[in-house]
Amino acid sequence: MKWVTRANPKVDRVACPWLIKKFVDPDAEFLYAPADQVMAVAEREGATPYDVPNIELGHHGPECSFDAIIKKYSLSDPALKRLALIVRGADTAAKDLTPESRGLEAIATGFQLAYIDDSEQLAAELPVYHALYAYCQNLVQTG
């Protein structure tokens, strides 16, 4: 399945592909498009849009697109819920939602600055979310 979002990804537009590949669609293909072309690309490519305004898999109230995907696909892993808080804090105005949120935002900004090609950035940055998920699993297990 194809998925599409805005170009020049930062927190949510990398966290969501990690979440989708790990828990929803391991064979997912991700496309990046200029913000004003995401919906046209979605229609043309038969892709599911995410992290754009006014769609199901976008921001709703204080929650980000990562939260919307967790809800849509009924993901209930406690470590994933903890990771969602970190991502939400890094991706929204609630920067102090978790102690880790500001650090994730800084790391995401660094990746955004270090890569010109969005797909290369995604490939390079996905291990950050693997590591954060392992961290959250440990937090949940050790209490």
* Tens-place pLDDT, residues 106-135: 999 999 999 999 999 999 999 999 999 999
* Tens-place pLDDT, residues 6-47: 999 999 999 999 999 999 999 999 999 999 999 999 999 999
User: Looking at the 3D structure of the chain, how many domains does it have?
Assistant: 1
Q: Is 20 exposed, middle or buried (0-12, 13-18, 19+ CB in 10 A)?
A: buried
- Answer whether 0.85 is exceeded by the pTM: yes
The answer to whether 55 and 62 have CB atoms below 8 angstroms apart is no
Residue 143 has pLDDT above 80, yes or no: no
* Tens-place pLDDT, residues 40-96: 999 999 999 999 999 999 999 999 999 999 999 999 999 999 999 999 999 999 999
pLDDT band at 142 (very low <50, low <70, confident <90, very high): very high
Place of tokens 């600055």: 113
What is the span of the domain harbouring residue 125?
A: 2-142
